[in-house]
């Protein structure tokens, strides 16, 4: 008996975020009968409550500095006022539009959408409320969710999910965490006029990033007026008449009107039925998969943040596409997670691809480090005290560029192009033989002549 006769669908996807939607559309394009379910809004974390609305808020938060910088270029900007409700209405309208686009893309691909929660009840069966459907293959693409520690008063804190829906801009915000989400929201609230305190238990923000990136971002956050408190953590949160009082482990006290916890995300697997059907899950919730996104149960696959491989939207899309090509397109496509570029839309932003200086010595051995720090050209007239940092990590033996790290204006846009070079294994000599575009910041990456240090 064929799959077409035996099951309702050839593929059923649980979760209609970036990875799930891409997998569903590509599989349908290969001729599969595809169903997908989503308990929230189609589009997932990135579109609905993540990268897209975040970057819109980042754009909004830049204008205060732009108005200030304009003075140095001869402009007079008077009586600029900001309205948080107007920004949120504009943001919500754009998210609504994208949500409709995603739904239309599924419909046009012939995918059947179930707007409800799905749970596994067997290796080929999914419960959707009162209904049960079966599928030859099942894809788990339920993403991640914010995590908060259990401490006294944590119920008074919000996460990034709620931050996008605040009715008013809080005058004082405490951001707890040092990762990219924490740094981004600290910059957003600070740029929009709030008094921001950022609290992180580590000795530098952006753990896992290159050391020079961490140093420069921390310095710049402070220059912009964020009260960055490192090497301490929150012990308790208490609601008082003047606002929320945070008692830190080192005895300091911080007053805030809103406390945002950005202390990490965990796979969204609660109540999904994975363990009941035998899908191997690690202690932190991540679904265990191989390079073809196969779980421990035949015909059940997983992609995106729920697998906690590289938790980035384009990676989830790539994994979903590769899965559909492998299973339904007759083209085996293992996913390679090496040299994945990423960005932090902090202020200033970060763009990075490849190994950090600290990790490179463990992965490739001896390395040469090229580093430049300078004032962006714009600020020669604006007068703003802001530094830009550019860095190359080069494998000594082969002279391949194995890391590019940038902090400063347009860093993510610059790194996207250089990521192609790093992924392609280009050498420092090939970088040097490329003529720069003048005057740009990016030209610095092809004009660095002498390493500042070497390891190994």
Catalytic residues: 438
Q: How far apart are CA 239 and CA 245, in angstroms?
A: 6
Determine contact, residues 299/317, Cβ cutoff 8 Å. Answer: no
Determine contact, residues 106/16, Cβ cutoff 8 Å. Answer: yes
Contacts with 440 (C-beta within 8 Å, 6 or more apart), sequence order: none
> Residue 250 is encoded by which pair of tokens?
């080192």
The DSSP result for 5-48, as a single string, is HH-SEEEEEE--SHHHHHHHHHHHHTT--EEEE-SS-TTHHHHH
| Longest CA span, the chain | 77
Determine contact, residues 394/366, Cβ cutoff 8 Å. Answer: no
Q: How far apart are CA 377 and CA 122, in angstroms?
A: 61
Instruction: Give the CA count within 13 Å in the CB-facing half-sphere of 343.
Output: 23
Q: How far apart are CA 68 and CA 193, in angstroms?
A: 13
Q: How far apart are CA 136 and CA 210, in angstroms?
A: 44
Q: Is 369 helix (H, G, I), strand (E, B) or coil?
A: strand
Determine contact, residues 170/258, Cβ cutoff 8 Å. Answer: yes
Find residue 131's DSSP bridge partners: 128
Q: How far apart are CA 134 and CA 162, in angstroms?
A: 35
């Amino acid at each position: 008996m064929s799959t077409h006769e035996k099951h309702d669908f050839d593929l059923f996807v649980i979760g209609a975020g970036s990875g799930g939607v891409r997998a569903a559309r590509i599989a349908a394009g290969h001729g599969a009968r595809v169903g997908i379910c989503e308990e929230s809004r189609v589009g997932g974390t990135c579109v609905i409550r993540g990268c897209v609305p975040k970057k819109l808020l980042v754009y909004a938060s830049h204008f205060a500095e732009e108005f200030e910088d304009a003075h140095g270029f001869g402009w007079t900007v008077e009586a600029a006022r900001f309205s948080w409700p107007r920004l949120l209405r504009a943001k919500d309208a754009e998210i609504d539009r994208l949500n409709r686009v995603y739904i239309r893309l599924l419909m046009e691909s012939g995918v059947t959408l179930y707007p409800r929660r799905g749970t596994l009840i067997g290796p080929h069966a999914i419960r959707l409320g009162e209904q049960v459907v079966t599928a030859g293959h099942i894809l788990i693409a339920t993403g991640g969710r914010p995590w908060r520690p259990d401490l006294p008063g944590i119920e008074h804190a919000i996460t990034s999910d709620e931050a996008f829906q605040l009715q008013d801009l809080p005058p004082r915000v405490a951001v707890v965490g040092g990762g990219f989400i924490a740094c981004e929201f600290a910059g957003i609230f600070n740029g929009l006029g709030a008094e921001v305190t950022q609290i992180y238990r580590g000795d530098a923000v952006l753990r896992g990033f290159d050391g020079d990136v961490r140093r420069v971002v921390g310095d710049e956050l402070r220059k912009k007026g964020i009260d960055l408190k490192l090497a301490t953590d929150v012990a308790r949160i208490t609601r008082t008449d003047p606002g929320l009082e945070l008692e830190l482990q080192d005895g300091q006290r911080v007053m805030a009107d809103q406390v945002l916890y950005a202390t990490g995300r965990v796979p969204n697997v609660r109540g999904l039925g994975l363990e009941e059907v035998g899908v191997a899950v690690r202690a932190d919730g991540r679904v265990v998969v191989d390079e073809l996104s196969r779980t421990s149960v035949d015909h059940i696959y997983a992609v995106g943040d729920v697998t906690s491989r590289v938790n980035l939207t384009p990676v989830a899309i790539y994994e979903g596409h590769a899965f559909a090509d492998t299973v339904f397109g007759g083209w085996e496509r293992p996913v390679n997670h090496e040299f994945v570029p990423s960005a932090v839309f902090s202020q200033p932003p970060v763009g990075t691809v490849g190994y950090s200086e600290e990790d490179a010595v463990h992965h490739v051995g001896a390395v040469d480090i090229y580093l430049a720090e300078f004032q962006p050209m714009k600020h020669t007239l604006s007068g703003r005290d802001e530094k830009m940092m550019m860095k190359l990590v080069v494998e000594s033996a082969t002279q391949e560029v194995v890391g590019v790290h940038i902090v400063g204006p347009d860093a993510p846009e610059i790194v996207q192009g250089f990521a192609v070079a790093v992924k392609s294994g280009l050498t420092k000599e090939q970088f040097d033989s490329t003529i720069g575009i003048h005057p740009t910041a990016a030209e610095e990456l092809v004009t660095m002549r002498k390493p500042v240090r070497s390891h190994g």
